[in-house]
Copies of this chain bind each other. A is one copy, B any other.
Amino acid sequence: MATTEGPPRDAIDIVDVMAALGNRRRLEIVAALADGQERTCGVLRGQTPKSTMTHHWRTLRDAGVIWQRPHGREHMLRLRREDLEARFPGLLDAVL
């Protein structure tokens, strides 16, 4: 699957992940993606301004928390559950 960039599994850094999750809106996004299904950014955005969400997507993607791939005029987003579970077993269950 083609995706915009993000770290490979082995390069996911716990500090980046913690910082990415240390924000209520981003933690809500991760919770909304917890089932592992892809969703469009539009569905997840709600009433939050697009520019704000663009920052959140980038933070989550660069930390290795989500995959983001172009899909028409939107993006599809998916939690990197398997990668996070492999790197930091139990983390998502503890947080969500």
Q: Mark A78-90, 1 if CB is under 8 A from B, else 0.
A: 0000000000111
Chain A interface, DSSP helix/strand/loop, else mixed: helix
Output the residue of A18, A24, A89, A90 with the most chain B CB within 10 A. A18
Interface size class of A (residues with CB under 8 A): 10 to 19
A41 sits at the interface (CB 8 A): no
Interfacial chain B residues near A60, Cβ < 8 Å = none
**Closest residue of chain B to A96, judged by CB?**
B14
Interfacial chain B residues near A16, Cβ < 8 Å = 22
Output the residue of A15, A17, A27, A93 with the most chain B CB within 10 A. A15
25 contacts between A and B (CB under 8 A): A14-B27, A14-B95, A15-B21, A15-B22, A15-B23, A15-B27, A16-B22, A17-B22, A18-B18, A18-B21, A18-B22, A18-B27, A18-B95, A19-B19, A19-B23, A20-B22, A21-B22, A22-B22, A88-B94, A89-B94, A90-B90, A90-B94, A91-B94, A91-B95, A94-B94
